[in-house]
């Protein structure tokens, strides 16, 4: 195939029209239950071997095979990881962004995308209750977002220029986090050179909320050990159980000690749009920085995360490099030259898809989605409580529910193995997709109810299927 053919607009038009038809059928079949399977499980080596033998050719055959070998997040019985079933029009935004391929590190390479990043951040800061001095940008995921925010916190609170001088000749630094915080927060601290001792993990209560009554004690212990705590991180919410830390007492603690207060709201940040559940994130307006993922609870394709600062000027302090091949005034705070504040230089148009969603449907769509799936989790918790043999790990705060099959008379390890078996059998059959987590030494089945079209009846069927697999296994033993 020649370059002229590869770039031929008519070839692109024909392939694009066919793909849209295929994807529209895929959506219909998933949403209407025509496709019975959420996932068609195959072993990794088998899938790799099939692609190793792929000889190329028809793009449509390629598209169809990828769909067949993918997990269907639009299927109402998808309830696995915290990934949105994207609103279809957002995928068209992705197509546009991919084709024009504007890098956005500097304004002249992405004028529209740069302005749209700023607008979506304004929507979020306004919803949180921050004022006009706030702002932020959109980056590639919560891990990078949390790292960027903590780098800003270190630069603001360390008492020296960590970016220019390094940290090795100064007092060891530390952050305080919930013991149930996402692993990427601890990873960010260790990437920053704080080491394992630089991550002070605050125990949680029976509901997996941070025990804020222990903050003073742990802070004093850190000071006695010679460490300087510069930030405390609240979770809104935790990944394993979906539990929201109580943010106001964390904010009070941070204020008393002059610490940076960061909130990892990658999953739960969308709750700011819900009147019904807004109390879960009360106190988020007291944070110095917040991250929110669009691809979790904001119905947008992966991967995009807003990094938000109560005082936007702080976002410029993270990186203070001179790069004269990009801009003339390296130290000037220019919101439109995003590489001054982000890891990325060739930065994708991350905000475009979420902005397209907002301008088409408004923030009421996010509110309706949040309310629907949070309500559904409460329904599922009630079903579990009424179903003999099952138990909840904890009453859910949001749309994440942990449960297990727990017949009497079995020891802890046997129960773990039984629930692992249930999950493996459900994955093999592919009619439901859920995951698992460990809380302490106990293995729990875990659902994230991400699809607004999941029904209470489907959840009852899930419990019935889980019980069926458990009883078959017990009968074999």
Structure tokens at 396: 């859910």
The pLDDT, as a whole number, for residue 324 is 41
Rounded to two decimals, the pTM is: 0.94
In the predicted model, what is the mean pLDDT of the chain? 93
pLDDT digits (tens, 9 = 90+) for 32-76: 988 889 999 999 999 999 999 998 889 999 999 999 999 999 999
- Band (pLDDT 50/70/90 cuts) for residue 107 is confident
How many whole angstroms separate alpha carbon 324 and alpha carbon 103? 17
pLDDT digits (tens, 9 = 90+) for 216-233: 999 999 999 999 999 999
The pLDDT, as a whole number, for residue 174 is 95
Q: What is the mean predicted confidence (pLDDT) over 351-377?
A: 97
- Band (pLDDT 50/70/90 cuts) for residue 108 is confident
Domains of the chain with CATH codes: 3-72 (no CATH), 97-361 (3.40.640.10)
The pLDDT, as a whole number, for residue 214 is 98
Any idea which of 105-109, 179-183, 210-214, 281-285 has the lowest mean pLDDT? 105-109
Structure tokens at 271: 């709750």
With a cut of 90, say whether residue 103 has pLDDT above it.
Answer: no
- Band (pLDDT 50/70/90 cuts) for residue 1 is low
Short-list 401, 433, 419, CA closest to 469: 419
pLDDT digits (tens, 9 = 90+) for 282-329: 999 999 999 999 999 999 999 999 999 999 998 887 775 444 444 455
CB 67 within 8 A of CB 26: yes
């Amino acid at each position: 195939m020649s370059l002229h053919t590869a770039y031929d607009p008519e070839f692109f038009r024909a392939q694009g029209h066919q793909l849209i038809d295929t994807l529209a059928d895929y959506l219909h079949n998933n949403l209407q239950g025509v496709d019975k399977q959420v996932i068609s499980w195959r072993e990794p080596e088998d899938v790799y071997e099939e692609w190793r033998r792929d000889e190329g050719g028809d793009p449509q055959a390629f598209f169809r095979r990828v769909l067949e070998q993918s997990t269907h997040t639009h299927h109402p019985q998808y309830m696995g990881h915290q990934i949105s079933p994207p609103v279809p029009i957002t995928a068209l935004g992705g197509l546009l962004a991919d084709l024009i391929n504007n890098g956005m590190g500097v304004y002249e390479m992405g004028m529209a995308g740069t302005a749209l990043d700023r607008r979506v951040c304004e929507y979020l800061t306004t919803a949180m209750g921050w004022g006009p001095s706030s702002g932020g940008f959109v980056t590639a995921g919560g891990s990078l977002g949390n790292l960027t925010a903590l780098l800003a916190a270190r630069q603001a609170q360390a008492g020296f220029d960590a970016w220019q001088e390094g940290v090795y000749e100064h007092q060891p630094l530390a952050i305080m986090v919930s013991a149930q915080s996402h692993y990427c927060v601890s990873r960010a601290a260790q990437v920053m050179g704080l080491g394992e001792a630089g991550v002070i993990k605050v125990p949680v209560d029976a509901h997996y909320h941070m025990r804020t009554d222990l903050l003073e004690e742990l802070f004093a212990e850190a000071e006695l050990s010679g460490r300087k705590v510069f930030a405390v991180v609240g979770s809104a919410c935790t990944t394993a159980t979906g539990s929201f830390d109580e943010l106001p007492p964390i904010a009070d603690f941070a204020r008393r000690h002059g610490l940076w207060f960061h909130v990892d709201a990658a999953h739960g940040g969308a709750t700011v749009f819900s009147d019904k559940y807004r109390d879960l994130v009360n106190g988020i307006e007291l944070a110095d920085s917040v991250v929110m993922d669009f691809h979790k609870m904001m119905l947008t394709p992966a991967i995009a995360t807003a990094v938000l600062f109560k005082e936007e000027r702080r976002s410029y302090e993270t990186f203070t490099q001179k790069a004269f091949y990009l801009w003339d005034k390296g130290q000037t705070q220019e919101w439109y030259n995003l590489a001054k504040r982000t890891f990325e230089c060739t930065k994708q148009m991350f905000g475009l898809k979420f902005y397209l969603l907002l301008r088409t449907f408004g923030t009421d769509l996010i509110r309706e989605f949040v309310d629907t799936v949070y309500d559904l989790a409460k329904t599922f918790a009630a079903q579990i409580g009424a179903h003999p043999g099952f138990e909840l790990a904890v009453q859910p705060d949001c749309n994440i529910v942990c449960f297990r099959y727990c017949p009497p008379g079995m020891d802890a390890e046997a129960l773990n193995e039984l629930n692992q078996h249930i999950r493996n059998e459900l994955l093999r059959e592919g009619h439901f997709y859920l995951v698992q987590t460990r809380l302490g030494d106990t293995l729990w089945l875990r659902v994230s109810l991400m699809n607004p079209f999941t029904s209470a009846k489907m959840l009852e069927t899930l419990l019935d299927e889980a019980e069926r697999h458990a009883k078959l296994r017990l009968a074999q033993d």
